[in-house]
A and B are shown apart, each in its own frame.
Chain A
Amino acid sequence: MELTRRQVIQAGAGAAVVSPPVISQLGFDLTAAKNVKLTLRIEGATVSHSICPYCAVGCAILAYTKKENDGKVKLLQIEGDPDSPVNEGRLCPKGATALQLAVSRRRVESPMYREPGAAEWKKVSWDFALDKLARNIKASRDRTFVTADADANVVNRCEGIAFAGGAAFSSEEGYLATKLMRGLGLVFLEQQARV
């Protein structure tokens, strides 16, 4: 495994175990406390690199994860990446709480469907949801596709479907969205630059 700069620093700090005791200004020996804190952060954690999901400053972040005994990956901590020429380790209140955006009881758990006129959501399978979406797209495309306009220009456009989105898409997802939507013939395409 490649050691990050942070791990090297932490490894160096860990070596304090054999160094003379760390004495605080009030005279307490803090060695034990320091070691506990450092151990908790490091032990078994993997460091991954990401970018803050909020505004477009593009702060680099470090995400610490750990595989739990049940095999689930737990996100322990998100902090600014000190190596970044953009943020040099700093984060604002939003970036600093990004962990709560990533891991939340409020995430939508499964696909949901609301029938016309219904007062409630119905939990549905992915297969049902994607089949429904594909059929809706095809039906609307077939109903609203214009091959030639009134002046007999070839226009090959679908006028009845719009796609909007993606300020938190990865660029590659955004590109795929453009390609697929243009492939379907959509002209109503939008994201958040304007709004």
Chain B
Amino acid sequence: MTNHWRDIRHADMLLINGANPAEAHPVGFQWMMKAKVERGAKIVHADPRFTRTSAVADKYIRIRTGTDVAYFGGFINYVLQNNLYHKEYVEFATNAALVVKDTYSFNDGMFNGFDPQRKVYDTASWAYEVGPDGFAVQDINHPRSVLNLLRQHYSRYTPEMVSRITGVPSDQYLEVAKMVGEMGRPDKVMSIIYAVGLTHHTTGVQLIRSGALLQLLLGNMGRPGGGMNAERGHANIQGNTDHAISWDILPGYMRVPAPGQKSIDDYVARSAPKKLHANSLNFFGTNYRKFLVSLLKGWYGDNATATNDYAFSYLPKPASDSSWLSIFDAALRGKMEGIMLSGMTATSIGPDSNQVLQALSNLKWLCVMDSYTTTSSEFWHAPGIDPAKVQTEVLMLPATHWIEKDGSFTNSGRWAQWKEAVLPPDGESRHDHWILAETFMRVRDLYKSEGGKFPQPVMQLMMDYKDARKPELDEIAQEINGKDLVSGQRHSTFAALKDDGTTTAGDWIYTGHYPASGNLAKRRDGVQDPAKNDPTGMGFYPNWGWSWPLNRRVLYNRASADRAGKPWDPKRPGIQWDGAKWAGDVPDYPPTANPADPASPLPFIMTGEGTGRLFSNGVADGPFPEHYEPVESPVANPLHPNVSTTPVAFHYDERAGRSNRYGTAAEFPYVATSYRLTEHEHYVTQHVDQLVQLQPEAFVEVPFELAQEKGIKTGDAVRVSSKRGKLEVRAVVTKRLGPLMIDNKKVYQIGIPIHWGFVGINSGQHWLANALTPFVGDASARTPEFKAFLVNIEKL
């Protein structure tokens, strides 16, 4: 989230798609209801299913899953065509005026720079014209200004075209477009709210970018009540992404170094954003080296010196994408020997669970650390699998659960909240961090006694905790914050970090959360005393927990005020210039930079442009979002049937020479999507009695009209099958799903809750929803396409 949960109540309109907050984030949803009830905010919910979110929405839009680029794209076009965008904001806070190089092109679904052999774009070919001063050329009236290219790109997204793609009737669509257009007024603000219904597509990154573009055009980024707000689905996905349990980043969203980067200078030159405008602060780019050196000092201590380039060579440099799908692809290709899974079950998560089961069977060893058994710890005797044929060695290590340890969770709104250890460890279970530390120390002992491949990083990694085998989370929190190695004092801000080896910071975006005064994530000055604890009255509650960076509650908040520093809407200020400093939220800006000074920095301090990016080469599949069909789709792309799906999605099976596992609409005529129910959270809740009682059994939701065609009644057993697998479960027949007309073709969508498997209290329900989903990833993030695929349905 660029904003945070409580902030949503400031919105005038909530555009919700790819999410069902009333059921999946019910307590967060109270802030949307507050916006509706207390300030009359309009809720528009676009979803394949009519859900409890739809039930309280002002407009429910039945949409085909995976078509949100067109849905947002039509709004972008409507706002531009009718000059409803927030002109002053766009000129001040976006890259609309920058001129793009004349090599840019987009024809029949293809951008320039495509390499047909490798099936990737050269993203560097999407660049700005550079002037004699070395910065990007600016001329908003230039035919190739970002704004004019944007107009041209989205001119194809007429209400009629959007309707052909999404199935939303154009008159209904226009009604929503008018509501969205209103939000470009400076005194109005809209929040876009989404979840994995937008990310789990082969166009996932561009779906999100489409929303961000719309928000930039409407002037809604950086403002209370605005922003792009991802509702995350697990307690600490945010914190663990921030701390980079992710192949492509280091803590604090620095890029993982790539082969060929021989030194830190080389790495920084190729990773850090470059200053593209004279008034761009380019804060991230300028400080990248300091953040990396401080990380390496934290990890390798005295073994990281100026002489050895701060042990930069110790950082592993991946050959290629190493994300979730790539792990199991490597196992299928016999290249992966062992996997450690902690609190994640590969089998249920999938996609293509049957193929994942095969991948796990190919391993030499698997280690599962969890409080409960999972479909991965038990994969070797899953239904249909003969244990005698599975040669994988499996370890199940009982780990403590959240309530048996302290440490912080960072919520969707970036608020780090410390929790206390409430209970002692259950039985023999041990903390994950003690299991990991002890295992690491045992590996170190083995290298010490036996030697082996390149032992230096293993031997030299800093483990200077009171007990290296049992580090305390409080010690680690201090390490994450970092300190000055000369004074020994913990930092209060990342502005103190240096690149000369005299500072440490395990994750620069968390620097300042644990200053000398103590752990700020422990603070609990909340709604027990609003007058005292919410001094601005805007709901920031600055002394409840701590939010990164620097306890800032709304990201990009410099853009909440105009050039002069006056809030766009004085009733809902983010920050404002008081004549001497920026007041309100913690400013996302130099705190005393006078806006009247012509040299004052542009509002988006993290980008090289100094502005929000309507055009960007930071994504792998195009500088502007474009609608492509899901890999399995019932129709050819109405915009460009010859390039129907994205040309740069990664088709793992095809690349590895495995047989095709995609179905066609002839065999599998129905669109399916998957989702959660309120009473379950992924798979662990199959171990919770009361929740299993509330939602005991796997089912699929079938549209009423389709059920009539097929003679299916609620409670009937049905078989839902894709090219990859099947479910045999009961049907729930419902009018909450219904047919859509897609490019003159009647298309039905089927709904599949994901929660069941062969492990849990009701283990008779052993069908895995993700047995159906395709093994394919988005070009930028390699996120699997869980949310749009083709199936058939038969009555049993």
Bound: A180/B243 CA distance, A: 12
Check A107–B26 contact: CB distance below 8 A. no
If A50-B403, A180-B461 touch, whether A155 touches B259 (CB-CB below 8 Å) is yes
Check B238–A56 contact: CB distance below 8 A. yes
Select from chain A the residue with minimum beta-carbon distance to B28: A57
Q: Which chain B residues lie closer than 8 Å to A93 at the CB level?
A: 678-679, 690-691, 694
Q: Which chain B residues lie closer than 8 Å to A65 at the CB level?
A: 422-423
- How close is B23's CB to chain A, nearest CB, in angstroms? 9
Check B398–A168 contact: CB distance below 8 A. no
If A111-B428, A170-B408, A187-B247 touch, whether A165 touches B341 (CB-CB below 8 Å) is yes
Bound: A183/B411 CA distance, A: 27
Of the listed residues B245, B388, B458, the one surrounded by the most CB atoms of chain A closer than 10 A to its CB is B245
Check A171–B340 contact: CB distance below 8 A. no
Check A134–B443 contact: CB distance below 8 A. yes
Asked whether B139 is an interface residue with its Cβ less than 8 Å from the other chain, the reply is no
Check A147–B454 contact: CB distance below 8 A. yes
Q: Which chain A residues lie closer than 8 Å to B241 at the CB level?
A: 191, 193
Which of A81, A131, A142 meets B442, CB within 8 Å? A131
14 pairs, A vs B, C-beta closer than 8 Å: A50-B422, A55-B234, A58-B410, A65-B422, A83-B527, A86-B28, A92-B26, A102-B402, A106-B687, A133-B442, A149-B319, A156-B457, A179-B506, A189-B244
Select from chain A the residue with minimum beta-carbon distance to B456: A156
Closest 4 CB pairs of A and B: A170-B407, A58-B411, A165-B342, A167-B234
- How close is B201's CB to chain A, nearest CB, in angstroms? 12
What 13 new A-B contacts, CB under 8 Å, besides A167-B236, A190-B322, A194-B782? A48-B421, A53-B403, A55-B681, A59-B27, A103-B426, A114-B393, A143-B337, A145-B454, A160-B337, A165-B343, A171-B510, A173-B431, A189-B247
Of the listed residues A49, A93, A141, A169, the one surrounded by the most CB atoms of chain B closer than 10 A to its CB is A169
Check B393–A115 contact: CB distance below 8 A. yes
If A56-B236, A134-B442, A176-B471 touch, whether A155 touches B319 (CB-CB below 8 Å) is yes
Asked whether B315 is an interface residue with its Cβ less than 8 Å from the other chain, the reply is yes
Bound: A51/B318 CA distance, A: 35
Chain A, interface size category, equals 35 or more
If A170-B473, A176-B476 touch, whether A85 touches B544 (CB-CB below 8 Å) is yes
Interface segment, A11-19, A21-29, A31-39, A116-124?
Answer: A116-124
Asked whether A30 is an interface residue with its Cβ less than 8 Å from the other chain, the reply is no
Q: Which chain A residues lie closer than 8 Å to B681 at the CB level?
A: 54-55, 94
Select from chain B the residue with minimum beta-carbon distance to A83: B526
If A111-B398, A194-B323 touch, whether A58 touches B240 (CB-CB below 8 Å) is no
Q: Which chain B residues lie closer than 8 Å to A157 at the CB level?
A: 316-319
- The secondary structure that dominates the A interface is mixed
Which A residues from 79 to 120 make CB contacts under 8 A with B? Answer: 80-88, 90-95, 97-98, 100-104, 106-119
- How close is A173's CB to chain B, nearest CB, in angstroms? 4
Check B324–A194 contact: CB distance below 8 A. yes
Asked whether A41 is an interface residue with its Cβ less than 8 Å from the other chain, the reply is no
Asked whether A70 is an interface residue with its Cβ less than 8 Å from the other chain, the reply is no
- How close is B716's CB to chain A, nearest CB, in angstroms? 27
Select from chain A the residue with minimum beta-carbon distance to B475: A172
Q: Which chain A residues lie closer than 8 Å to B418 at the CB level?
A: 49
Which of A84, A142, A154 meets B313, CB within 8 Å? A154
Q: Which chain A residues lie closer than 8 Å to B416 at the CB level?
A: 171
Of the listed residues B237, B389, B437, B471, the one surrounded by the most CB atoms of chain A closer than 10 A to its CB is B237
Bound: A193/B238 CA distance, A: 8
Select from chain A the residue with minimum beta-carbon distance to B782: A194
If A158-B316, A194-B324 touch, whether A116 touches B403 (CB-CB below 8 Å) is no
Q: Which chain A residues lie closer than 8 Å to B461 at the CB level?
A: 179-180, 183
Of the listed residues A117, A126, A179, A180, the one surrounded by the most CB atoms of chain B closer than 10 A to its CB is A179
* Interface membership of chain B positions 381-392, coded 1 if the CB is closer than 8 angstroms to chain A and 0 otherwise: 100000111111
Check A111–B397 contact: CB distance below 8 A. yes
- How close is B239's CB to chain A, nearest CB, in angstroms? 3
Bound: A14/B259 CA distance, A: 68
Bound: A131/B441 CA distance, A: 11
Select from chain B the residue with minimum beta-carbon distance to A174: B240
Bound: A65/B429 CA distance, A: 19
Q: Which chain B residues lie closer than 8 Å to A86 at the CB level?
A: 5-6, 27-28, 411, 413, 415
Bound: A141/B365 CA distance, A: 13
Bound: A38/B409 CA distance, A: 32
- How close is A9's CB to chain B, nearest CB, in angstroms? 11
**Chain B interface, number of residues (Cβ within 8 angstroms):** 167
Interface segment, B173-181, B274-282, B370-378, B625-633?
Answer: B370-378
Which B residues from 679 to 696 make CB contacts under 8 A with A? Answer: 679-681, 684-685, 687-691, 694
Asked whether A42 is an interface residue with its Cβ less than 8 Å from the other chain, the reply is no
Q: Which chain A residues lie closer than 8 Å to B424 at the CB level?
A: 73
- How close is A40's CB to chain B, nearest CB, in angstroms? 19
If A100-B689, A116-B393, A185-B457 touch, whether A170 touches B236 (CB-CB below 8 Å) is yes
Asked whether B335 is an interface residue with its Cβ less than 8 Å from the other chain, the reply is yes
Q: Which chain B residues lie closer than 8 Å to A137 at the CB level?
A: 338, 439, 443
Interface segment, B57-65, B445-453, B486-494?
Answer: B445-453
Bound: A161/B305 CA distance, A: 29
Which of A100, A136, A168 meets B690, CB within 8 Å? A100
Asked whether B273 is an interface residue with its Cβ less than 8 Å from the other chain, the reply is no
- How close is B704's CB to chain A, nearest CB, in angstroms? 27
Which of B326, B369, B443 meets A188, CB within 8 Å? B326
Asked whether B53 is an interface residue with its Cβ less than 8 Å from the other chain, the reply is no
Check A163–B244 contact: CB distance below 8 A. no
Bound: A75/B694 CA distance, A: 22
Check B428–A167 contact: CB distance below 8 A. no
Q: Which chain B residues lie closer than 8 Å to A10 at the CB level?
A: none
- How close is A124's CB to chain B, nearest CB, in angstroms? 8
Check B372–A56 contact: CB distance below 8 A. no
Asked whether A151 is an interface residue with its Cβ less than 8 Å from the other chain, the reply is yes
Of the listed residues A91, A115, A140, A164, the one surrounded by the most CB atoms of chain B closer than 10 A to its CB is A164
Q: Which chain B residues lie closer than 8 Å to A110 at the CB level?
A: 398, 427-428
- How close is B232's CB to chain A, nearest CB, in angstroms? 4
Check A176–B437 contact: CB distance below 8 A. yes
Asked whether B480 is an interface residue with its Cβ less than 8 Å from the other chain, the reply is yes
- How close is B679's CB to chain A, nearest CB, in angstroms? 5
If A106-B372, A165-B340 touch, whether A145 touches B319 (CB-CB below 8 Å) is no
Bound: A81/B239 CA distance, A: 21
Asked whether B394 is an interface residue with its Cβ less than 8 Å from the other chain, the reply is yes
